Amino acid sequence: MRPKRGKTMTGRHPDADTVRAALALAVRAPSIHNSQPWQWRVGDTTVHLYIDDDRSLRHTDPDNRDLLISCGAALHHFRVAARSFGWHTVVHRLPNPDDPRHLAAVEFVPITPTADVVSMARAIEDRRSDRRRLTSWEVPAPFVTAMAAAGAAEGALVSEIPGGSTRIRLVEAFREAAAAHRADPGYQDELARWSGRHADSEGVPARNAVLSPDPLTREFHAATLTEAAIGDLDDHGSLMLVHTGSDDQLSRLRAGEATSAVLLSATVYGLATCPLTEPLELPGTREMLRADVLSDSGFPQIVVRVGWAATSAADLPATPRRALAEVVRPLE
């Protein structure tokens, strides 16, 4: 149920129910290994986003790039949800130089939500990380243009990765990263802690991981999701690269916001989506993509695969989320 467009006595801040409803949608954002590495603090007139250091993945994400992208996606989800409830968000990113864990302070201005914003908010509940193979149906060019524009509006750059030799080199980077991770005991132990379980609050459950993944999809432990083999689909679907001019904390946070915008736009169009980060987690394969795809200009942050799922494909279950009481607290 959508909350009413609530305000405090001053009319400048949504009421507690509205904030809670927006946060319930924010935490539906995708995150590396569904680790949900965020903490939210709610004040009288502001909402604050913090990193949860306890959920840093040392072997998968040694420089916390994926963590920041995950938090940026949650921030964008929150902004979309708030707008759909009648509140424009004024975001102060990295507001405290003395506390790098403090990612955003959010203030509110009442607005009238548009139909487009309401559709984006509804897409939050519908979006899934669909790791199954895609069909050969082409993603219409206007959809690709609109998804790229939605991401660019959030402070990052979004480019479609072309086919041919560039796509071949991309697949090589994914295969090389997967082989390196397969041979890394620390990574494998970490992956086992975050996947292959029938989890009720975190991690990638066995039911959401593909048993025989394609070259672009991460190998999770004890996967049980099966699908019909429908041929070599390496060249099917579109691959959207989110990249930035710099590689600092702010750039990675904005890349996460852009990623969320691409994912939700694609979901509104009825497309299946899956964020892909494995080759960007290793310096060698990340540099390979920077050279081959971006010609050494800018920094690749995340790849989003978009395309049409098979019409016979069953609906995917939602991945679990931690209770709001675990991630939302009053501002002290």
**CA torsion sign, 318 to 198 to 177 to 134?**
negative
First to last CA, the chain: 30
Q: Which helix (H) or strand (E) holds 88?
A: strand 87-93
Sheet with 272-276, edge to edge strand ranges: 157-160, 238-244, 299-307, 272-276
Nearest Cα residue to 78 out of 41, 44, 27: 27
Nearby residues of 283 by Cβ (< 8 Å), 6 or more positions away: none
Nearest Cα residue to 327 out of 15, 25, 124: 25
CA–CA distance from 45 to each of 79, 83, 108 (Å)? 15, 16, 8
Domain boundaries, the chain: 16-127+319-330, 141-307
Q: Are 306 and 264 in contact (CB under 8 A)?
A: no
Q: Is 200 left (phi over 0), alpha (psi -120 to 50) or beta?
A: alpha
Q: How many helices (H) and strands (E) does the chain have?
A: 9, 11
Q: Are 306 and 271 in contact (CB under 8 A)?
A: yes
User: What per-residue confidence (pLDDT) applies to 198?
Assistant: 65
- In CATH terms, the fold of domain 16-127+319-330 is NADH Oxidase (3.40.109)
Q: Is 64 left (phi over 0), alpha (psi -120 to 50) or beta?
A: left
Distance CA(281)–CA(66), nearest Å, equals 8
State both tokens at 112: 């009238």
The model's pTM is 0.94
129 SS3 class:
strand
Q: Are strands 47-51 and 102-110 parallel, antiparallel or unpaired?
A: antiparallel
State both tokens at 248: 């600092």
Distance CA(27)–CA(299), nearest Å, equals 27
Question: Position 149: which residue type?
Answer: A
Each residue's pLDDT, cut to its tens digit, for the chain (332 residues) gives 455 444 443 467 899 999 999 999 999 999 999 999 999 999 999 999 999 999 999 999 999 999 999 999 999 999 999 999 999 999 999 999 999 999 999 999 999 999 999 999 999 999 999 999 888 899 999 999 999 999 999 999 999 999 889 999 999 999 999 999 999 999 999 999 999 876 679 999 998 998 878 889 999 988 888 764 444 444 568 999 999 999 999 999 999 999 999 999 999 999 999 999 999 999 999 999 999 999 999 999 999 999 999 888 889 999 999 999 999 999 98
Distance CA(176)–CA(287), nearest Å, equals 12
User: What per-residue confidence (pLDDT) applies to 188?
Assistant: 97
User: What per-residue confidence (pLDDT) applies to 214?
Assistant: 84
Cα angle: 42, vertex 43, 47; to 5 degrees: 50
User: What per-residue confidence (pLDDT) applies to 237?
Assistant: 86
Q: Architecture of domain 141-307 in CATH?
A: 3-Layer(aba) Sandwich (3.40)
Q: Are strands 204-205 and 195-197 parallel, antiparallel or unpaired?
A: parallel
Q: Which helix (H) or strand (E) holds 241?
A: strand 238-244
- Topology agreement, domain 16-127+319-330 and domain 141-307: yes
Cα angle: 35, vertex 239, 302; to 5 degrees: 35
Residue 106 CA from chain centroid, whole number = 20
Distance CA(210)–CA(204), nearest Å, equals 11
